[in-house]
Structure 1
Amino acid sequence: MNAPDLILHNGSITTLDPLQPQVTAVAIAGGLITATGGEELLKTAQDKTQLIELKGRRVIPGLNDSHIHVIRGGLNFNMELRWDGVPSLALALEMLRGQARRTPPPQWVRVIGGWTEFQFAERRMPTLDEINAVSPDTPVFVLHLYDRAFVNRAALRALGYTKETPDPPGGEIQRDKAGHPTGLLIAKPNAMILYASLAKGPRLDFEDQVNSTRHFMRELNRLGITSCIDAG
């Protein structure tokens, strides 16, 4: 057996082998698992071997996501702002302010799903006035589930949505009493208006798309996902 590059030990390691469902150590060489067992694997370590002492923590095989838009999701990931797990709307809006300052024109700030008003201490969604206040000049597109999107005034200008713009099939552009778009796009009865509007945003150039996709895949890896099936 080749000397391992890495040994994880003193943990609870799930193997998915019915004959040995759990071990405390695993040896890895060349990206492949070469041995499983206990502390005896430490005897195979050499000077170059990295040792990680798990202190009883659980290790599982990499997860497969069988329905994910990994190609489409990765193209603009570097330009996205994630609100996953953010505890308050006030913090989410400050994050939006900072992202808007960092975003070079003509790019947009995109908050694409992963959040709900029920995670926020305030227990509500942002208002359009709040979004416009933190990003008056950089276009912002905030997607909430599949039912609506909030776009600020800068994004309305970029989209070209005006008083004369008709509602597209399968969607509604909310308007004020004078008929001007407010910035709320409603999926009614389907989400085509949301994705058609999002698709009008500027794309990154090819090299930046590749870089963005790599960062997206690293984020998946951080969450334990090591393979996936792209759903288009």
Structure 2
Amino acid sequence: MPTLDEINRIAPETPVFILNLYRQAFLNKAALRVIGYTKDTPNPPGGEIQRDSRGNPTGMLIARPNATILYATLAKGPKLSYEDQMNSTRLFMRELNRFGVTSVIDAGGGFQNYPDDYQVFEELDRRGEITVRTAYNLFTQHPKNELNDFKAWTASSQPYTGSSYYRHNGAGEMLVYSAADFEDFVEPRPELPAVLEDELFEVTQHLVQQRWPFRLHATYGESITRFLDVFECVNKEVPFKDLRWILDHAETIHEKDLERVVELGGSIAVQSRMAFQGEYFVERYGAKAAENAPPITKMMKSGLRVGVPFVTAALVSFTFKNTLTAKTRMPLPATDSPIRLIVDNHS
């Protein structure tokens, strides 16, 4: 990991933003000037601007555990021209192709507004220049107004529309902000607010009524139990029957909840996060808990469809490590089961 001193020496005048997972970001002094962070800039909720003894920002941003501080800072940076965005996207796809990646799911993200921020991909699709098949989910951008976002989108677009290279994939992975159980294992598990159930119910009910597939970021067993309580209540009023839906990550899902996911027809998309945050997880929750985080074998024995995606923004250079981690977190796999998880269950 580079130090702030090293970044400032290498790039004294060029703004630099380096993201470490969704845990922290490093900004050099030039980036701090562009962003406008000073000693008077307050810490955002759930985030920290690290400061020196005089109160000035050092350039270190820390999610505690809310990663919005990282997304919001990146969004403040200089925006490329439209043509440069086109070229940058082509180069990013070429980098993915270089690692053998031919298809991805865009599960949305903070400050990625639809449809405005999707125009580059729309144009590349029209030109036939997309080299990575992309299925995109719509991610709400407005806390406390999530339902309005999804009502607008369900009225204006339909899942599975688009081309063979660029296709609408439904809602998620953020459905309501009160359900955001951030996965920073250095920090304590976030306690989700009491409003979660009511807010998640109204959004989920609307999506099921509209027959929109959805996915939901779900790291911890404690939050997943609450999510499933909501889904079961919705299912009683508007049946989930044959609707595709996914829990993303599920590192500490409770064994009793696996069957509940099966009963509602859901799937789970795990991730290789433990290969990169495993030591933090062990320090906080213990080695015994880490042995089954996530419990892939139990998931598969329960009859669940299990996919193994990876986060390109954070881990693009580790595609094959992500695949191998699905087996045993050993350097080399003993069988082809990691590949089968990806091809059979996440296509």
As a proportion of its length, which structure holds more helix?
2
Query: Computing the radius of gyration over CA atoms, which structure comes out larger, 1 or 2?
Result: 1
The structure with higher relative contact order (CA 8 Å, sep 6+) is 1
TM-score range (shorter-chain normalised) is 0.3 to 0.5
TM score, norm. by length of structure 2: 0.30
As a proportion of its length, which structure holds more strand?
1
TM score, norm. by length of structure 1: 0.45
